[in-house]
Amino acid sequence: MRNNEKKVLLINPANFGESWGPLKKGGGINPPLGLLYLSSVLKKNGFKVFFLDANIQNLTAKEAEKYIREVSPDIVGITAVTATFNYALEYLKVIKKINPKILTVIGGPHISAVQSIKDYQEIDIGVIGEGEYTFLEICEKYEKEKGELLEKEKIKGIVFRKGEEEIKNEARPLIANLDELPIPDYKILGDIRKYRVQIDAYRKYPVGTIISSRGCPYHCIFCDRNIFGNRYRAHSPERIIEEIKILVKEMGCREIKFVDDMFTLQKERVDKICELIKKEKLKFNWSCSLRADFFYEDMLKKMKEAGLWMVNVGIESGNQEILKKIKKSLKLETVSKTVSLANKLGIYVRGFFILGHPGETKETMEDTLKFVKSLPLYTAQFSLATPFIGTELFYIAEKYGYRDLNINQYSEKFPVFIPEGLTKEDLLKMHRRCYKEFYLRPKQLLKYLLMLRSFSDLKRYYLGLSILINMIIEFILYKRRGKK
């Protein structure tokens, strides 16, 4: 470890829950794992790291100014998805007002997609792709006395200005061995109980999050692969167990949510993780995501024995032609078999669906609703197709309909893409209707009543019901305003 006097401030910007739209009260705020990885890498190399999660504190850029002045950082790193990018800019403007010599660096999905900072004087450097080693090199080469970054042209994976010219350097290769990265700096979060997941996505509290792998080899047109790419890479089972121990034994987590795109891609790795959980006698509930066509019954049994209680399954549509169009190589009959098998094993299934795909019609959305109701799902989440920058959907959206340019609403909760033949009202109406007809069925309500185990469960389900009712009321009012 080197002794380094440079101070680095990492910021997670607030969006004040706006990206959740009508589901705001039931939405989650997870720890920003990307920043936690940066913190652990920087600390390993001797930097003094400060952390401001303005999102969990609900701080505006102006309200964060006092803390930023107190820290007086030499370098600031901030992350942003598309819906939070404009919010991130507000923090960077405040930082440059405090001291123009502070090096401002932005990373995350949005900047990795647009790969440009030319219109934003408050940004000095944009990090494209995986940021751990890129940001470390930036911090090492920043000369704070002179207020300049040395050898910018040699740092892979960045975009920067040189006078009036914008320069994008050679891409940095993906990290081949994820185990060489130190465990995320969970302790910088403080009390993890202040973070929360969606109301239907946990059983016990508090909940920790782990990303045990990176990259997805599939090619769905709506997926953002600008950071982790298509090449699948995974932490070893032994490394994952060490991370679990920190969350369970040191942070007090009673449940863990694996946020990988595909937790079950390597069966042997999953089997080993389950084996080690039992060997180490680690007691916690956990959930993960899997593809409906990439599972094994014996693997699911082992996962269940090791504490798995729920799986997230991206189903996306109940119409086979739509699935083909969005390059979701999945058969509906396979989905039905997978969900039924999971139920037989006592594993809850949380289904994810998207409305408003290219080529979508009222009839295909009806197919989706009918299919959703045919499945024995624990919960269903309905999103609206969003053409995130850099996805295939972004490039073909205008061929199939209308694309809104208001990036503050690019969060899958707003109708920013309207397929030809449909209207914004059609999408909003179907979105509300799907929630209403799935959740307000007597058998579904009875299922939740039978699942009640505590007062906490009662509060969660009551909140979910109130959100649903408010969504319906909001849509009725929206329609009435449109008629006036």
d(CA 252, CA 232): 30
Domain ranges, ordered by start, for the chain:
7-168, 197-483
| pLDDT at site 1 | 44
**Neighbouring-strand partners of residue 419:** 401
d(CA 426, CA 433): 10
Going by CATH, does the domain composed of 197-483 fall within 3.10.20.30? no
Question: Residue 284's CB: how many other CB atoms inside 10 A?
Answer: 18
| pLDDT at site 200 | 80
Q: How far apart are the first and last CA of the chain?
A: 67
CB-count burial class (<10 Å; 0-12, 13-18, 19+) for 1: exposed
| pLDDT at site 118 | 94
Q: Which of 460, 440, 437, 466 is nearest to 370 (CA)?
A: 437
Q: Residue 182 has what DSSP assignment? A: P
Cα angle 119, 125, 128 (rounded to 5 degrees) comes to 95
Per-position pLDDT tens, the chain of length 484: 455 689 999 999 998 666 556 665 656 789 999 999 999 999 999 999 999 999 999 999 999 999 999 999 999 999 999 999 999 999 999 999 999 999 999 999 999 999 999 999 999 999 999 999 999 999 999 998 888 899 999 999 999 999 889 999 999 999 999 999 999 999 999 999 999 888 788 889 899 999 999 999 999 999 988 889 889 999 999 999 999 999 999 999 999 999 999 999 999 999 999 999 999 999 999 999 999 998 789 999 999 999 999 999 999 999 999 999 999 989 999 999 999 999 999 999 999 999 999 999 999 999 999 999 999 999 999 999 999 999 999 999 999 999 998 888 888 889 999 999 999 999 999 999 999 999 989 888 888 877 777 766 676 666 666 666 666 666 566 556 555 4
| pLDDT at site 24 | 57
Q: What ranges make up the beta strands (E) of 13-115?
A: 48-53, 75-79, 103-107
Query: Residue 310 — φ and ψ, nearest 5°?
Result: -150, 145
pTM of the predicted protein model? 0.92
d(CA 174, CA 155): 14
CB-count burial class (<10 Å; 0-12, 13-18, 19+) for 115: middle
3-state secondary structure of 51: strand
Q: Please answer whether residues 78 and 106 qualify as being in contact, where contact means their C-beta atoms are separated by less than 8 angstroms.
A: yes
d(CA 453, CA 467): 21
CB-count burial class (<10 Å; 0-12, 13-18, 19+) for 79: buried
Q: How far is CA 478 from CA 24, 75, 381, 427, 482, in A?
A: 17, 45, 22, 13, 6
Residue 366, CB half-sphere, CA atoms under 13 Å: how many? 3
Q: What share of the chain is helix, strand, coil (3-state, %, to 5)?
A: 45, 20, 35
Q: Residue 170 has what DSSP assignment? A: P
125-127 β-sheet, strand order: 48-53, 7-12, 75-79, 103-107, 125-127, 158-162, 165-168
Of how many residues is the chain composed? 484
| pLDDT at site 467 | 66
Q: What is the CATH number of domain 7-168?
A: 3.40.50.280
